[in-house]
Amino acid sequence: MDTSFMVKFLPMYVKAAGLTLRLGLAGIALSLVVGALCCMARHFRVPVLDRVAGVYIELARNTPLLVQLFFLYFGLPKVGIKLDAETCAVAGLTFLGGAYMAESLRSGLESVDRVQQESGMCIGLTPLQNLRYVILPQGLATAIPSIGANAVFLIKETSVFSAVALADLMYVAKDLIGMYYKTDEALLMLTLSYLTLLLPISIAFTLLERRLRHAGFGSAV
């Protein structure tokens, strides 16, 4: 194992990790927004929007992110829409992640006992208040593990960003292997880089889940 090689090119991995994390977090945040909108449309059976959200979710979950990126980066310019590589990456990650987040949130909301929802209405809560004070706290607590798994999944999916010429972690690793043939060293640094990014996110969601459950949210689920 050539440690001098690893030390020399460590700054490249740090820079690539910064890009990976920035794009990944942007995609996760936007995925939560898209997922929440789709979840509400499906949970409350909003006419037309429910059907549209269902089609979107099936399309996004059953097509690879790489194909979606190719469509955004190489396909859209054919019809006069040109997006830079970073915009395509975030848009692709949002498109994919929004579908998974929507299903995670919907399963969380639907896990709330119907009796509790009806009890909220019986004590005079409006539908919006019932959603805010009864359904959402318990539903989100139940959905947190799935949302955390989705977040980790989306960060790992950034490994295909190199296909649109973004200098992410995978791009750097492949570039160094191609130039110096240091496969073991490059892949070890790649593995450690992803572990460094993903482990704190996984721990954070685990702690959040425990805190919510300790506070009593989701205890009746």
Q: Would residue 221 count as lying in a domain?
A: no
Q: Would residue 167 count as lying in a domain?
A: yes
In which band, very low, low, confident or very high, does the pLDDT at 219 lie, cut at 50, 70 and 90?
very low
DSSP state, residue 167:
-
Residue written as tokens 């399309």?
59
Tokens of residue 11, six digits: 């700054």
Q: Is the pLDDT of residue 221 over 70?
A: no
d(CA 36, CA 127): 17
pLDDT tens track for 101-158: 999 999 888 888 877 777 777 887 777 787 777 788 888 888 999 999 999 999 999 9
Across the range 10-37, mean pLDDT stands at 94
Q: Would residue 106 count as lying in a domain?
A: yes
Q: Would residue 219 count as lying in a domain?
A: no
Tokens of residue 182, six digits: 């240091």
State which residues form the domain around 125.
3-214
Q: Would residue 91 count as lying in a domain?
A: yes
The CATH number of whichever domain residue 20 belongs to comes to 1.10.3720.10
Q: Would residue 220 count as lying in a domain?
A: no
Q: Would residue 81 count as lying in a domain?
A: yes
Which pTM was predicted? 0.87
SS3 173: helix
Q: Would residue 133 count as lying in a domain?
A: yes
Nearest to 90 by CA among 34, 147, 29, 26: 26
Across the range 196-212, mean pLDDT stands at 89
DSSP state, residue 158:
G
How many structural domains is the chain composed of?
1
